[in-house]
Structure 1
Amino acid sequence: MTPALFAIACLLVITLGYSGLCAASPFGPCRKCRGWGFEMKTDRKGRLKRGHDCRRCKATGKRIRVGRHLYNLWATTYRAGTRP
């Protein structure tokens, strides 16, 4: 197996795996709050306490994956273009 063919096969496996992940679980944890939905703060004694709600995910703790967002854009454009 040549190195180029091996690289193409690896990219194909990675792409199909990510597509399957986006189809099975379109939402992932928010990167800013790590899926908690709020910011963690510490008080003066160093104990953790709840901070403000996360603005990026609107306190849900979830975000839409990039692949699923691209699929949604494509599907919307396709539906708009094929209407009678």
Structure 2
Amino acid sequence: MTLPLAAIALGLAAAYAFRLWAFPYGRCIWCRGDGIRGGTYCRRCDGSGRRVRLGRRIHDRIRREYRNGTR
């Protein structure tokens, strides 16, 4: 019973990792991807309407720490 669940969890984790690699940016939650909030440019995304997704930020931080630790 645990083997199929582990396989499903591993498959979902692999799919999420692929999605982070293929699409590292998501819509800004503050301006809903418009880039404008309250009549001016959104401060959170600098008016682009895109932001780095949480999983990608975590991946980048881990990679940066590993790189700095091996120097």
| Structure 2 runs not aligned, ≥5 long | none
**Counting strand residues as a fraction of each chain, which structure ranks higher?**
1
Instruction: Indicate the structure (1 or 2) with the bigger Cα radius of gyration.
Output: 1
Is 1:61 aligned to residue 59 of structure 2?
A: no
**Counting helix residues as a fraction of each chain, which structure ranks higher?**
2
TM-score of the superposed pair, with normalisation by structure 2: 0.83
| Structure 1 runs not aligned, ≥5 long | 42-50
Tell me the matched-pair count.
Answer: 71
Cα distance in 1 for partners of 2:34, 2:6 equals 37
TM-score of the superposed pair, with normalisation by structure 1: 0.72
Deviation per CA, 1:12-41, whole angstroms, max 9, x where unpaired? 2221111001111111111121211112x7
Aligned Cα root-mean-square deviation (Å): 1.6
Q: What's the % identity of the aligned pairs?
A: 38
Deviation per CA, 1:33-79, whole angstroms, max 9, x where unpaired? 1211112x7xxxxxxxxx22212112111111111111110111111
Residue 33 of structure 1 aligns with an amino acid whose one-letter code is C
